[in-house]
Amino acid sequence: MRTPVYARMAVIGCGLIGSSLVRAVREAGAAGEIVIAETSAAARERIEALGLADRVTADAADAVRDADLVVFAVPVMSMEAAARAAAPGLMPGATVTDVGSVKGHVADALAAACPDSVFVVPGHPIAGTEQSGPDAGFAELFQNRWTILTPLARDDGPYREAVARLALLWTAIGARVEEMDARHHDLVLAITSHLPHLIAYNIVGTAADLEGVAEAEVMKYSAGGFRDFTRIAASDPTMWRDVFLTNKDAVLEVLGRFTEDLQALSRAIRWGEGDKLFELFSRTREIRRGIVAMGQESAEPNFGRDRGKH
């Protein structure tokens, strides 16, 4: 019998990420008891039917009572309201974390909403799919993926212990854990995740509006690169709206750089500068090989197609 890392885990919001977490924690025996709070009645019904938790409730304050770990797994802009709803029930000494894709905004929101008696340790698992809801989750989602913890600016012993214990939970479910400053996380993710999603949303939108090319043709011949963008562009609209609005500065910064580089590419095409194109395409191929070498992707064409998003 494994010793649980936490006696009682409360998860607020049980969609793709929340339900994957409870499945993984259950399987690993990493929490003694699991309680879920969900605002959506339809989702609560599904969670009950899937048997994901020991208890399911609509009341966040009730869910977090006596929990030594509380995880907020709601869209980024709903974090503060969810934390305010839960706050009256939070147990002193509990660890409060989240799985939000943007960390600066969420760290501020959680710190503002939670009492000083709890340990706020924001986090972000770099794993996901374009699906939503409790049916979409699966226990293996975090295996061999990174979870980034962005601790607040405090280094007292009890706080560090809370961070270490949370890291233990993530490793118990197969994730690799790294600590990072929240603002730096937001800049890194702006280029590795947020900008790629923006490009996907934009290219699919452009194709849909393109005069002279029928929508049926776009779908029929989508294998030529476009299909991979459509998968990313099928991601949850609420989640991604929130990401762009709350990571505005970092996204605009990398978008500026991207636009400059795109202009340079457009110039190279116009002036027939094949050597420039060849040099860039060779460098980018090396980056792909580096990702495969780091075990974050396989060289097989479709491996992990839907496990690497965040």
Residues lying near ligand NAP in the complex (CB under 6 A) are found at 12-18, 37-40, 43, 60, 73-76, 78, 81-82, 99-101, 125, 128-129, 132-133, 236, 239, 309-310
Nearer to ligand NAP, 135 or 273 (CB): 135
By beta-carbon proximity to ligand NAP, the closer residue of 74 and 250 is 74
Concatenated DSSP letters of 111-152: HHHS-TTSEE--EEES-B-S--SGGG--GGGGTT-EEEE---
Q: In whole angstroms, how close is the CB of 30 to ligand NAP at the nearest point? A: 19
Q: Kindly state the smallest distance separating residue 36's Cβ from ligand NAP, in Å.
A: 9
Under 8 Å between Cβ of 62 and 89: yes
- Residue 8 or 194: the one with the smaller Cβ distance to ligand NAP is 194
**Least gap, CB of 83 to ligand NAP (angstroms):** 9
12 vs 182 by CB, closer to ligand NAP: 12
Q: Which is nearer to ligand NAP, 4 or 127 (CB)?
A: 127
* Shortest distance (Å) from residue 64 CB to ligand NAP: 11
Smallest gap from residue 18 Cβ to ligand NAP (A): 6
Beta pairing partners, 178: 148
Output 40-44 pairs: Cβ under 8 A, ≥24 positions apart. Answer: 43/14, 43/15, 43/133, 43/134
If the CB atoms of residues 97 and 129 are measured against ligand NAP, the closer one turns out to be 129
Cα(73)–Cα(67) distance, integer angstroms: 16
Q: Minimum distance between the CB of residue 131 and ligand NAP, rounded to whole angstroms?
A: 7
Contact between residue 21 and residue 73 where contact means Cβ atoms under 8 Å apart: yes
Residue nearest to ligand NAP (CB): 15
Alpha-helical runs (H) found in the chain: 16-28, 41-50, 60-64, 79-86, 104-113, 157-172, 182-189, 195-209, 215-220, 226-233, 237-246, 248-270, 274-293
